[in-house]
Amino acid sequence: MNADQQQVASDPNSPHLPIDRLIELVRSGGKVRTGVDVFNKHGLLLLEKSVLVEDPQILVKARKLGAAMVPVSEQQTGGLWDRKGRKIALPSMAADAAGAEKPNLAAAASDVDRRINEIMTMKKEAAYKYEKAKSCIKEVLESIRASGGEFDPEPVAATVNELVDFVSNSDNTFAYLTREIFSYDDYLYNHSINVCTIGTVVMQRFSNTFGTAINTFLNLHAGEIPLVRPDDEQSFVYYTDSELRNIAIGYFMHDLGKVMVAPRTLNKTGKLTPAEFAEVRSHVTDKASLILEKNKITDPHIVNVCRYHHAGLFRHEPDCYPEHDYRQVPTYVKVCKLADIYDAMTSKRCYKEAMNPVGVVTDIFHHYAGKNPLLQYVLHSFVKSVGIYPAGSVVTLTNGQLAYVLDSNGPTLLPVTDTGGIPLSRRAEVIIPDQNQTAEGEQVIKVDRRRPPISPLEAFHLLPGYLRRTLEVDFA
């Protein structure tokens, strides 16, 4: 676990609340005053006790500097207020609108317990966001089917904005959104949400990484060089926040055209005939344009994503459509294509197992980096953003043990079985495989990248009780 995430307060008896909850409260117009000074482990003051926090960025910054669970002391004039100025009772604050249970804060006796509580809170929040997004996309699909192409774009923008805020809140939260898929409609719901969240995370990283570089460069040469946005090979394009939000809407909508393709063709597991392949292709060549036109959607980011997310990323890339010069494919469309491939390969379908996310991301990187070196900036952001083992998932180690992921950074793992797969009767030591090396520098235990991830359902009966409760939300 990242030691920076620990914090100390001047009043250790105050109830501690997840900072993500507080950020959400302030974003919705509420206010927070801690009543106690909050420091990180380096002694840096993150939140001053008497300051009434009305700007969510203050909390976002505190989180970046190490705040995870924040004490709020009512005895010391601290408290929480909703957007109408009404005081929120502390015990009910932890239960969110989805009906999440109050985290067992009193039980946070160790880092591991505290981390498990955080994972539970995050998973419940993700489950709530996922259900909201799913009902949104479901309504859109039903409306398109019933009307021959029309739907209400407004709730889509609101839903996508919520997803963007959720995945922007902290590292790897998007990984909590994935679900097992049981039908094609389920696949479309899931795929729309996944491509939206994965693509958004990659684009944010791309924009932050290269946007910062561009800004530094421009500051060094202030007045000498105008900001240029090249039309081809857009490796160094900076996207504004509103552009990124439209791009995210495009990701959410990228496959809407499939609703107008015969389910028989989409569900076919064997080789498609040329006519069937043309029908599948029509989801971007014809149907997407029809839906966009009927709903008067003209934003170029949304239009480009819907029309070109199957275009080639290098010269003569096979099975790509429509015909399009690969050098003219905008960066955000390239990201959509990569997220699309990644999600298809890492999703479990009725006819195939899910593949290991780290293995998939490595394959995608080598496939494209070798064919088009100029894609490297996009691939760099992609590799850095996805292919992680999400906290709360279960992985297999090369020595045969199963381990619960406490933190995707590292990753930080808690072994839960012995090397023969028998559940451990006592809690094991936390390990970080990359740091688990012999004196010669050879790693003795690694995550087994050949094995697909283990579904929560499969792992459930192998886990000790204190971890089982964190998985229940996965198949609630």
Contact set with Fe ion (CB under 5 A): 255, 340
SS3 state at 417:
strand
Cβ proximity to Fe ion: between 255 and 407 the closer is 255
Smallest separation, CB 469 to Fe ion (Å)? 34
**Sequence-separated contacts (24+) of 101-104 with Cβ below 8 Å:** 103/18
Smallest separation, CB 143 to Fe ion (Å)? 19
Smallest separation, CB 414 to Fe ion (Å)? 35
CB 104 within 8 A of CB 115: no
Cβ proximity to Fe ion: between 31 and 281 the closer is 281
Smallest separation, CB 280 to Fe ion (Å)? 8
Smallest separation, CB 255 to Fe ion (Å)? 4
| Dihedral of alpha carbons 183, 185, 188, 193, sign | negative
Cβ proximity to Fe ion: between 37 and 340 the closer is 340
In sequence order, which residues have a C-beta less than 8 Å from that of residue 238 and are 6 or more positions away?
A: 207, 210, 211, 214, 215, 227
CA distance 357 to 198: 12
CA distance 194 to 188: 10
Backbone angles phi, psi at 48, to 5 degrees: -90, 135
Cβ proximity to Fe ion: between 72 and 196 the closer is 196
In sequence order, which residues have a C-beta less than 8 Å from that of residue 267 and are 6 or more positions away?
A: 184
The first and second tokens of residue 395, run together, are 């992985």
CB 301 within 8 A of CB 243: yes
Helices marked H in 105-260 = 111-147, 153-169, 184-220, 241-253
Smallest separation, CB 80 to Fe ion (Å)? 41
Cβ proximity to Fe ion: between 31 and 287 the closer is 287
Smallest separation, CB 216 to Fe ion (Å)? 35
Cβ proximity to Fe ion: between 340 and 474 the closer is 340
SS3 state at 311:
coil
Smallest separation, CB 121 to Fe ion (Å)? 31
Cβ proximity to Fe ion: between 333 and 416 the closer is 333
CA distance 197 to 417: 32
CA distance 127 to 132: 9
Residues in the chain, overall count: 476
CA distance 128 to 24: 14
Of the candidates 67, 77, 75, 83, the one whose C-alpha atom is nearest the C-alpha of residue 25 is 83
Question: Residues of 169-196 as b/e, b for ≥16 C-beta within 10 angstroms?
Answer: bbebbbbbbbbebeeeeebbbbbbbbbb
Cβ proximity to Fe ion: between 96 and 255 the closer is 255
CA distance 336 to 310: 9
Cβ proximity to Fe ion: between 66 and 250 the closer is 250
SS3 state at 33:
strand
Smallest separation, CB 361 to Fe ion (Å)? 17
Cβ proximity to Fe ion: between 47 and 280 the closer is 280
Smallest separation, CB 375 to Fe ion (Å)? 19
Smallest separation, CB 195 to Fe ion (Å)? 6
Cβ proximity to Fe ion: between 184 and 236 the closer is 184
Q: How many CA atoms lie within 13 A of 120 on its CB side?
A: 22
